[in-house]
Amino acid sequence: MFACLLVFSRSALMSIPAVVEIEIWSDVICPWCWIGKRRLERALGHSPIFPQIRLRHRAFRLMPGLVPLPVIEVLQQRYGGSAAQILAMQARIEEIAAAEGLIYRLADTQGGDTLQAHRLLYLAHMQGLQDVLLERLCRAYFSQGEPVFDVETLVPLAIEVGLEREVVVALFAGQDFIAEIEDDQRRLQRYGASGVPFFLIGGHIAVNGAQPIEAFSHALAQLITDSPSEPASSLQ
């Protein structure tokens, strides 16, 4: 738990950058990633001192190369345990998500490779629609049980948020953004993180995992006092 009382001097306020970029490494099928993003957004709502926030999705594939399977089967194969144990764990995560205003129906979901979804998110970034598409993909997967691995599912979702059909179809016909997605994963490893969500605030403040809102608030406060030239510091 983090608690602090901040008194901002005029010089500190003047040092705040005009635009603060927050890079978020996540996967659209990671239940903690949407929860962590929502907690970050709530912390930002309590920190109006920042004039402009720019969220940037970075790709992480939890299950590269995996053919879609019911998520209960995937979790049993990876971690063991009975179906009843996994269902109990999912129920607990659903309760945590509900506390953040999110609807999760995890028993209806599948596990699989999200490469195409991440490629689509890169395309959406170029058109200023990345965050709205990310929210739509998470809702489709967690709330509606849609297979966000399939092009047949992704195309109508992309069109729904404002991307042009022809551009989306052309994306999936080619290989665009695969190199960028691989680079995202290499960058995450360089920061010493092995999982998601991972948040890099202002280029040098790192938060690992779906931390409580207080941790994000602490990180935002640290952004004001730390020098941008310092290496990334981590709050875990």
What are the percentages of helix, strand and coil residues in the chain, rounded to 5?
Answer: 50, 10, 35
Which pLDDT belongs to residue 221? 86
The encoded tokens of residue 97 equal 């998500």
Indicate the pLDDT class of residue 13, thresholds 50, 70 and 90.
very low
pLDDT for the residue 6? 29
Q: Is the pLDDT of residue 11 over 50?
A: no
- pTM, full prediction: 0.88
Query: Is the CB of residue 50 less than 8 Å from the CB of residue 85?
Result: no
What residues have CB less than 8 Å from 22, skipping those under 6 apart?
40, 53, 54, 55, 56, 199, 200, 201, 202
Residue 3 has pLDDT above 90, yes or no: no
Query: Tell me: the pLDDT tens digits for 182-232?
Result: 999 999 999 999 899 999 999 989 999 999 999 999 998 887 776 444 445
> pLDDT tens, 64-104?
999 999 999 999 999 999 999 999 999 999 999 999 999 99
Name the DSSP letter for residue 141.
I
pLDDT at residue 166 is higher than 50: yes
pLDDT at 12 over 70: no
Average pLDDT (130-137) is: 98
pLDDT of residue 2: 37
Q: Please, what are the domains in the chain?
A: 10-235 (3.40.30.10)
pLDDT tens column, 17-61: 678 899 999 999 999 999 999 999 999 988 766 668 899 999 999
Is it the case that residue 177 has pLDDT exceeding 60?
A: yes
220, 47 Cβ separation under 8 angstroms: yes
What's the pLDDT score for residue 172?
A: 98
Angstrom distance (rounded) from CA 225 to CA 13: 10
pLDDT at 25: 99
CA dihedral 92, 109, 85, 78 (to 10 degrees): -120
Cα 116 to Cα 90: distance, rounded to the nearest angstrom: 25
118 vs 133: CA distance, rounded Å: 10
- Is there a contact between 148 and 71 (Cβ–Cβ < 8 Å)? no
CB-neighbour burial class of residue 182 (10 A; exposed 0-12, middle 13-18, buried 19+): middle
Name the DSSP letter for residue 68: P
Q: Quick check: 57 and 22 in contact, CB under 8 A?
A: no
Q: With 80 as the cut, is the pLDDT of residue 8 above it?
A: no
At 93 the three-state DSSP class reads: helix
